[in-house]
């Protein structure tokens, strides 16, 4: 399986790029090293990698902006690496959509371990459907104007299809399967990101903001001091 996985390593320090790529190739991953975000964005347009190892401080466009651009189009795994170790930078990286954050200097072996974990999670989401998928869900879910087809991983609003990343889809499914149930941010983190996620719970808020941008009238409500719920709007689980 590893030989089919292409990992892009984006860092303006060639020594770091070469070191990370060497460790990844030992694990039989294919790699491509890039020194700027502009080169990385061109790669995304022409031959998108399966995963990104992304430095923040790059000449020109920085890693934050590149992460944001990639995340608006896909849910591929992204690990950010940076000499910036402040909580603000870590939270910003996670809110923009990175799946993990490592501070330089770091252990290449630990980075490889984290890469394997993220790829394993991505594979499960794309081949088993992720969290909260009861057997009765094979046909679809409706909640008012919202309809989800879990087997096809498709979302419709008022009959029109809406493009969703994996995490956006998983978040919608959790809510749609449990209308009117109030979820804490921790419960949503576990359901969508996995029980070994250690980032900020503000990632939940950021993901819901993205959903509301795509579907402005989505019936997800904030519950002060608790979390979120989706109002039931006359939908039901279809046979």
> 42-65, pLDDT tens digit by residue?
999 888 898 999 999 999 999 999
Who wins on pLDDT, 156 or 93? 156
CATH number reported for the structural domain that contains residue 202 in this entry: 1.10.10.10
76 in Cβ contact with 50 (< 8 Å): yes
In a domain, 57, yes or no: yes
Q: What is the mean pLDDT of residues 219-225?
A: 90
Give the largest Cα separation in the chain, rounded.
58
Would you say how long the chain is, in residues? 239
Residue-wise pLDDT for 109-159, tens only, equals 999 999 998 888 777 766 544 443 333 333 578 888 888 888 778 899 988
How far from 177 is each of 32, 33, 154, CA to CA, in Å?
40, 42, 15
236 band by pLDDT with thresholds 50, 70 and 90 = very low
On the CB side of 161, CA atoms within 13 Å amount to: 7
- Whether 38 shows a pLDDT value over 90: the answer reads yes
Are 6 and 123 part of one and the same domain? yes
Crossing angle of helices 14-26 and 108-128, in 10° steps, is: 60
**pLDDT over 60 (residue 224):** yes
Prior bond of 81 cis (ω within 30°): no
In a domain, 17, yes or no: yes
The answer to whether position 154 is within a domain reads yes
Average pLDDT rounded to a whole number, residues 83-94: 79
Is 117 found in the same domain as 13?
yes
pLDDT in tens, 164-202: 888 888 899 999 888 899 999 989 988 888 876 666 778
Q: Are residues 107 and 13 in the same domain?
A: yes
Residue 15 sits at φ, ψ, to 5 deg, of: -60, -45
Q: What is the token pair recorded at 30?
A: 């294919």
Segment 89-112 mean pLDDT = 86
Strands (E), the chain: 6-10, 30-34, 51-55, 78-82, 100-103, 141-143, 146-149, 154-157, 160-162, 183-184, 220-223, 227-230
Written as six digits, the tokens of 50 are: 């399966």
In a domain, 237, yes or no: no
* In the chain, % of residues over pLDDT 90: 37
Domain boundary among 128, 150, 182: 128
Q: Does residue 101 sit in the same domain as residue 144?
A: no
pLDDT at 35 over 90: yes
What is the pTM assigned to this prediction?
0.57
pLDDT of 154 reads: 86
Instruction: Compute the mean pLDDT over every residue in the chain, rounded to the nearest whole number.
Output: 83
């Amino acid at each position: 399986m590893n030989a089919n996985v292409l990992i892009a390593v984006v860092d303006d320090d060639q020594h770091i790029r070469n070191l990370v790529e060497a460790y990844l190739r030992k694990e039989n991953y294919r790699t491509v090293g890039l020194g700027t975000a502009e080169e990385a964005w061109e790669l995304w347009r022409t031959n998108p990698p399966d995963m990104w190892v992304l430095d923040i401080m790059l000449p020109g466009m920085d890693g934050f902006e590149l992460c944001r651009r990639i995340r608006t189009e896909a849910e591929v795994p992204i690990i950010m690496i940076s000499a910036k170790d402040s909580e603000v930078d870590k939270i910003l990286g996670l809110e923009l959509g990175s799946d993990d954050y490592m501070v330089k200097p770091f252990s290449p072996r630990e980075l490889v371990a984290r890469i394997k974990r993220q790829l394993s999670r991505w594979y499960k989401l794309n081949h088993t459907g992720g969290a909260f998928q009861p057997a009765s869900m094979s046909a679809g879910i409706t909640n008012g104007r919202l309809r989800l087809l879990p087997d096809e991983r498709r979302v419709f609003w008022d009959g029109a299809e809406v493009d969703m990343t994996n995490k956006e889809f998983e978040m919608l499914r959790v809510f749609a399967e449990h209308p009117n149930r109030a979820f804490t941010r921790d419960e949503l983190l576990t359901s969508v990101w996995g029980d070994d996620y250690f980032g900020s719970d503000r990632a939940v808020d950021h993901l819901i903001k993205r959903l509301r941008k795509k579907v402005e009238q989505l019936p997800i409500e904030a519950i002060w001091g608790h979390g979120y719920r989706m109002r039931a709007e006359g939908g039901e689980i279809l046979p």
